[in-house]
Structure 1
């Protein structure tokens, strides 16, 4: 199966009140049904104090550091500093409480993806996994490389392991290079252009430059063991693209602030649980 572009757009950014600096919605939250199992993705530039201690419940996050340094602290005793190319996975599960901060005077530049949990996994244990750039398999291809963060891609298995299996790859290409990326045919997928310019798809290809987003066609009732293909042609040097994919969960959700649940009643219970201290002490 050959994939093509289903929809595409460019991220629009807005200036924020300090210490937050700028934000853009790569995947707008009000379109989550199109992106299932993904809920939203935000691109943020921020300094220390923007995302201090806060709670989450009912979903997972995948945070990719583009630039600067990102410090993570959680109330389970976890603490680390992530650098460009590093990724953090969090299963918020039933109750996460953490902080995500720029380090010292750094401006942290990140992409944070919200990945849904099926209802039967929303009460799972909170978990964090740091994936460091040096531990990510890198596959050399003609005119570039593919870093495999998650899933089985290009003969390598990525180290990131989420409760809802996904693929995450970073594809780097030189001008004129072509690469055919393979994904399970039943995975809903999107890509984001970090730099350069790329033509996506073979039939009626779409050109995208930096900050461009594209969702891809897929076989909704396809076989996960069968592969589909999306062709990428680099139109400029230093083209870099992130590709994400996952199997749709097909459940209704309610997103309210830092919580994602199935109903508004569950959201109200979550807020009450947080107010009653059931998420534990502050992370800071």
Structure 2
């Protein structure tokens, strides 16, 4: 008997990032915005920061609070120092990931540790289920050497930050949201089929080069996010190909299907919970 044919998800829509300023004036491209939180549940936000102009990033992100979700910072170039109210401190270096669980409340800072050169990376926000929103805050600094990377015979590289890819278990797993977070490098002229669990919401973000996605070969260029369709329940993942080579983030997760109430750095399930978060922060209970 032959193997089951790979059926790819198709691109539902393309999204261009919106330039924004955050922290103490850091210039970012916001790719996953508030309007897509329901569609891409459990993911709340994706920012890309990329500049070799120190004026764009040197001020960094001074002390600021979070409650009710997780932040995932992935560094491609540059260095960022993390400090938080629980006493954690770490230096995020190129290729490394900081996975922080805000839980019931944390105050932290993220400040560049360089005066010039390229600063390039991403921050992804992952929602927590209602039962975990008031869990104890936590922090994990994952250096590049601790993140599994597979290299196939055809030259495709797959960095498995979270989830499982081609039998390789990533650096992080989560029961509730089951996130998949890959950084895939495609050589010119090569096709790669990334498996995505049925029922997961999923998207791609091309950060270098150009891709042809799905059976229709939808063109996706650097700086674009492609929301992947859930329409075909038989789809087993997404097919990626590149004529000239590309790097792309592949992100998927199991939706929580819970109410989302967000007010700045707090993400809860109701307005009352948000008001409580503000009261707790002002009273120094984080």
| TM-score in terms of structure 1 length | 0.89
Task: Give 2:16's match in structure 1, choosing from 10, 23, 47.
Answer: 10
Superposition deviation, residue 205 in structure 1? 2.1
Q: Spell out, residue by residue over 1:84-122, the C-alpha distance to the aligned partner (whole angstroms, 9 max, x if none).
A: 221111111001111111114256433111111111111
Residue 262 in structure 1 maps to residue 269 in structure 2 = yes
What is aligned with 2:29? Answer: 24
Q: Distance in 2 between matches of 1:162 and 1:10?
A: 29
Q: Offset at 1:194?
A: 1.0
Matched residue pairs, number?
272
TM-score, normalization by structure 2: 0.89
Match of 1:184 among 197, 211, 222: 197
Q: In the alignment, is the contact (CA less than 8 A) between 2:22 and 2:28 conserved in 1?
A: no
2:24 & 2:261 partners in 1: Cα distance? Answer: 29
In structure 2, C-alpha distance between the alignment counterparts of 1:125 and 1:71, rounded to whole Å:
22
Aligned-partner SS, 2:134: coil
CA distance in 2, matches of 1:17, 1:73: 18
- Counterpart selection for 1:148 from 150, 160, 170: 160
Q: What runs of 5+ residues in structure 1 fail to find an aligned partner?
A: 280-284
Q: Does 2:217 align with 1:211?
A: no
Structure 1 moving runs of 4+ over 6 Å = none
User: Structure 1 residue 168: deviation in Å?
Assistant: 0.8
Does structure 1 retain, via aligned residues, the 8 Å contact 2:158–2:183?
Answer: yes
Conserved? CA contact 2:197–2:236, under 8 Å = yes
- Deviation of 1:30 after TM superposition, in Å, equals 2.3
Q: Is the 8 A contact 1:187 1:219 kept in 2?
A: no
- RMSD value over aligned CA atoms? 2.1
Give, in angstroms, the shift of residue 19 of structure 1: 5.3
**Contact 2:24–2:61 (8 Å) recurs in 1:** no
Deviation at 1:4, TM superposition (A): 1.1
Matched with 1:196 is: 209
Aligned twin of 2:169: 157
Matched, 1:82 2:96: no
CA distance in 2, matches of 1:126, 1:98: 11
Q: Tell me the equivalent position of 1:282.
A: none
Counterpart pick for 1:236 among 241, 244, 254: 244
Q: What are the ranges of 5 or more consecutive residues in structure 2 without an aligned counterpart?
A: 1-6, 51-55
CA-CA distance at 1:13 after TM superposition: 2.3
